[in-house]
Amino acid sequence: MIDGLHRPIFLHHNDPSIAVACLDMSVKIHNLEIPLDDFCRKSWRKALYGDANWSNIKIIQENIMKIYENDEPDFLSKIKKP
């Protein structure tokens, strides 16, 4: 999630929220199965940051995804041959 450093996303949130948002996105993108992931009392997310504000984590994830939605078309247009 190093691409998030290209925007001020990470400056608006605390470190644990950013870390959980990035890890959660990575797990989902790679379709990883983590034991007890569906059991909310023992979820790895709660173990890492029990006081997480999940709406903030979703906002962080949405902002990270916007980077790719906006930057990829620009990048592809530059590498296409005329």
Residue 79 pLDDT more than 80? no
Mean pLDDT of the chain: 76
**pTM of the prediction?**
0.66
DSSP track, 2-71: GGGGGSGGGGGS-HHHHHHHHHHHHHHHTT---TTTT-GGG-HHHHH-TT--HHHHHHHHHHHHHHHHHH
The mean-pLDDT minimum among 49-53, 67-71, 78-82 falls in 78-82
Residues 6 or more apart in contact with residue 17 via CB below 8 angstroms: 49, 52, 53, 56, 57, 60
* Cα 71 to Cα 77: distance, rounded to the nearest angstrom: 10
Mean pLDDT of 33-44: 70
Pick the residue with more confidence: 20 or 75?
Answer: 20
Question: Does position 76 have pLDDT exceeding 70, yes or no?
Answer: no
Residue extents of the structural domains in the chain: 2-79
Per cent of the chain over pLDDT 70 is 65
